Amino acid sequence: MNFLRPLRQMDWILLFAAIVLSVIGIFFIFSASYQISRATGINFSHRQVAWLALGMGIFLILAMIDYHRLVSFAYPLLAATVLSLIFIALFGEIRYGARRWINLGGFTVQPSEFAKLVVILALSHYFAEKFAWRFRWRYVLVPAGMTAIPALLILKQPDLGTAIIFIPLLLGLTFIGRARMKHIIVIAVILMLLAPASWWLLKDYQRNRILVFLNPQRDPLGTGYTITQSKIAIGSGKISGKGWLAGTQNMLSFLPQRRTDFIFSVVAEEWGFVGSMTVLGLYALIIYRLFRIARAARDLTGVLLVTGGLIIFSTHVVINVGMALGLLPATGLPLPLLSYGGSVTVATLATLGLCQSVYCHRYWY
């Protein structure tokens, strides 16, 4: 049938790598949540399977739809996203001291995860539509405003990790959109000058995370405890690991947030260096395939969409793994396709599905 025609052109290697990572994630979510599941009766791996099924369905639907149709809804989607973030600031559900979720009766949604995809759509639409303005200041100032509004609302939740991701996204797509280099440099310099001032916008615990990163002994039993346990878990895995469900830092509950932010530490402890490199190899394969899709795109809109997805995906991986290794401050960013979480899983697969749409429709224009 005609509506299935795009799927014949799909990048099957990208889909295969995403499925394999998702399956690995299910096993390690089961392991990381084993103790709490026994205590509460909640099977988090079963929940993750449900989210993956939903995400894969959205992935296939988006891959079949012409990405130009999706981009045409970018501005209404951006307006709806901003409204949802304002709603969260006023009425959102509070967890762990943050207001990031909307309760939809039985399950919660984190709009900030979908905001990244919507901003990719909006920036791609603007740069492609206004390409003739590329030598004017408005060509960079308008996208900067479209990016800053959701980013600041997300920072207020507070969610520093997600807010930071909008910076490389804006700069990367502005560069791919062929804005004047001096305009890009000015925007980058302004962001660097504002960085010290942003220190005073951070919550006390966010400042402490950065200070602990600079000096791990500052708070060894508090903020520094998680990073310390993460590095112990990774180091104790050695070459081949201790075996699935046999990691002591994991099973004895020494490592906090292990099914979400620090699931890579569980992989390293139970599968060792070999397993860690296998997982990182799969991430590298997805990033490489996204790079190939961007090169194969037939128009600027497609290039921008895939580049945006590539920036978001790779930034998540680099920051999360760097955080687990103690090379970057703890920011709370999950590891795509591996960490537990409905919103991040669905948003990640939706982003990859959008990139697949660009590849599936590459011969149609």
DSSP state string for 117-168: HHHHHHHHHHHHHTGGGTTSTHHHHHHHHHHHHHHHHHHTTT-HHHHHHHHH
* Owner of token pair 């969610």: 159
Q: How far apart are CA 231 and CA 324, in angstroms?
A: 7
Q: How far apart are CA 171 and CA 259, in angstroms?
A: 32
Q: What is the pLDDT of residues 255-279, one digit of tens each?
A: 888 888 899 999 999 999 999 999 9
Q: Which of the four pLDDT bands, split at 50, 70 and 90, describes residue 14?
A: very high
Is 42 within 8 Å of 258 (Cβ atoms)?
Answer: no
Count the alpha carbons within 13 Å of 174 in the hemisphere toward its beta carbon. Answer: 29
Q: What is the DSSP string of 31-88?
A: HHTHHHHHHH---HHHHHHHHHHHHHHHHHHHHHS-HHHHHTTHHHHHHHHHHHHHHH
Q: Has residue 164 got a pLDDT over 70?
A: yes
pLDDT given for residue 2 in this prediction = 59
* Owner of token pair 């909006």: 122
Please state the rounded mean pLDDT for residues 28-42: 89
Of the candidates 348, 320, 340, the residue with the CA atom closest to the CA atom of residue 332: 320
Percent with pLDDT over 90 in the chain: 59
Q: Among 15-24, 31-40, 73-82, 123-132, which stretch is predicted with the lowest mean pLDDT?
A: 31-40
Two tokens, residue 310: 């590539």
pLDDT given for residue 209 in this prediction = 73
Collapsing DSSP to helix, strand or coil, 358 comes out as helix
In the 8-state DSSP scheme, what is residue 114?
A: H
Report the DSSP beta bridge partners of residue 103: 108
The structural domains of the chain, with segments of one domain joined by +, span: 2-360
Of the candidates 201, 338, 186, 164, the residue with the CA atom closest to the CA atom of residue 262: 338
In the chain, how many H helices and how many E strands?
A: 15, 3
Two tokens, residue 232: 């112990």
Q: How far apart are CA 139 and CA 141, in angstroms?
A: 6
Q: Which of the four pLDDT bands, split at 50, 70 and 90, describes residue 82?
A: very high
Q: What's the whole-model pTM score?
A: 0.92
pLDDT given for residue 242 in this prediction = 92
Q: Which of the pair, 54 or 190, is modelled with greater confidence?
A: 54
Give the type of residue at 24: I
Give the type of residue at 110: Q
Q: Edge-to-edge strand order for the sheet containing 98-103?
A: 93-95, 98-103, 108-109
Q: Which of the four pLDDT bands, split at 50, 70 and 90, describes residue 331?
A: confident
In the 8-state DSSP scheme, what is residue 2?
A: G
Please state the rounded mean pLDDT for residues 65-86: 94
